[in-house]
Amino acid sequence: MSGQREPQLAAAEAEHAARVHGHIAAEILAAGGWLSFERFMDVALYAPGLGYYSAGAHKFGGGGDFTTAPEISALFGACVARQCAEVLAAVGRGGILEIGAGSGRLAADVLGRLERSGELPEHYWILEISADLRERQRRLLGERLPHLMGRVMWLDAPPVQPFDGVILANEVLDALPVARFRRRRSRVEELGVAVDGDRFIWAARDAGRDMAGAVDVLARAAAAAGAGEWPDGYLSEYCPRLAAWTAAVTRPLAAGAVLWFDYGLPRAHYYLPERHDGTLLCHFRHRAHADPLRLPGLEDITAWVDFTALALAAAGAGFEVAGFTTQTYFLAGLGVDQEMLALAQSDENRFARLANEARRLMLPGEMGERFKAMAWTRGMRAALGGFALRDLRHVL
Ligand SMILES: C[S@@+](CC[C@H](N)C(=O)[O-])C[C@H]1O[C@@H](n2cnc3c(N)ncnc32)[C@H](O)[C@@H]1O
């Protein structure tokens, strides 16, 4: 972020940043001076005791680094609960597995809403990589729903036993490490990270065959949609592990639905020629910037989701894509207006607050269009209310 002022770090933050920096620099040197960006992102987010998600640096909501739909409003969880209820009814009850539960608000809102309508799942499992966030989730759920704690369990890995029901993941896919590429006229380069004094810098090398092939597919998808050719030096990213990771975490679902929520685009729009610098975004104390090499370990690093890749991954994992729509249509299809009335309970001030939150979740300039919902199903036949109003699968 040349030209930007370095943020003021507290002593503990500066010490943590130095430890992460030292760890990555040592790995780069051991690897001969170059580390793929995918590996860099993996370490920066997930290295035990160091990464942003594994070392407890991050925070959600108003005082943290970024906010998410469940942090903005209980309306999101109420609508997700309605969608879960339809699926649970279709498979004859069953349970819920949430991946990456953040502060635990979505879990609390979903369970609370399902309890009110008498539709509680048999279990609510949480697969969470961060020890610190697990504690936060345990505290929040223990405070809000102490009588339901018997149904809640934290997992270190996807369950081995098959189960019926729902798998939920809100804003988890955008945190999966991505590979960065640059396309020159006649070749593809992989962008990695090198050390320059006390800084990390970008460094390119010729891409291997797998990456060159993958990039060709992306370029052709954009061109076939009439978007035109990429300019020389076009730079972007893709997620090589998306298919394997999503297949692994959804494997235990015997019958039911997987609900993915995230910001992203169908492939032809993601890889438009004019988006020639990719979609990487970092969040530090509610400021967004595009330089992931600056504060590894202290900030979130994200990339938009290629929803065409996610749809292709469904088939590989043995699911059908049962729906794809925007967050606006998902919430509207599940009766967000009725949920507002129910949550407000005739309190006009509360209603006004909820209306404001609904705007943030649903207006096109806010989260409404950027954020999408996708449903994968197997072993169940039932219409999904969240995807009934607007079916966008044809654009995938
Ligand atoms: C951006 S946060 C979203 C949190 C929450 N779903 C929300 O909407 O507020 C990403 C969450 O996914 C978790 N996470 C990231 N990668 C994960 C993985 N591979 N397995 C399980 N959890 C993961 C993080 O620790 C964090 O809880």
Band (224; pLDDT cuts 50, 70, 90): confident
Q: What is the 101 CA–ligand 1 centroid distance (Å)?
A: 6
Is 323 in contact with 87 (CB distance < 8 Å)?
no
Establish whether residue 42 lines the binding site of ligand 1, counting it when its CB lies within 6 angstroms of any ligand atom.
Answer: no
Within 10 A of 102 (CB to CB), how many other CB atoms are there? 24
Q: Is the CB of 127 under 6 A from ligand 1?
A: yes
Residue 359 in this model has a pLDDT that exceeds 90: yes
Half-sphere exposure (Cβ direction) of 377: Cα atoms closer than 13 Å = 19
- The pLDDT of residue 235 is 97
Over range 226-235, report the average pLDDT. 90
> Is pLDDT above 70 for 1?
no
Structural contact between residues 384 and 257, judged by C-beta atoms closer than 8 angstroms: yes
Residue 159: is it exposed, middle or buried by C-beta count within 10 angstroms (0-12/13-18/19+)?
Answer: middle
Listed in sequence order, the residues at least 6 apart from 7 whose beta carbon sits closer than 8 Å to its beta carbon are 284, 285, 287, 295
Whether pLDDT at 282 is above 70: yes
Its domain, for residue 349, covers 1-396
| Mean pLDDT along residues 367-391 | 95
pLDDT band at 3; cut points 50, 70, 90: very low
Q: How confident is the model at residue 55 (pLDDT cuts 50, 70, 90)?
A: confident
**Tell me, what CATH number does 21's domain have?**
3.40.50.12710
pLDDT over threshold 70, residue 143 = yes
Share the mean pLDDT of the chain: 93
pTM score, whole prediction: 0.95
Protein residue with its CA nearest to atom 8 in ligand 1: 170
- As a whole number of angstroms, the distance between CA 395 and CA 236 comes to 21
- What's the whole-number mean pLDDT along residues 291-308? 94
Ligand 1 centre distance from Cα of residue 175 (Å): 8
Which residue has the least CA distance to atom 7 on ligand 1?
Answer: 102
Average pLDDT over residues 260-283: 94
Number of domains comprising the chain: 1
Cα of 102 from ligand 1 centre, angstroms: 6
Return the structure tokens found at 143: 């405070």
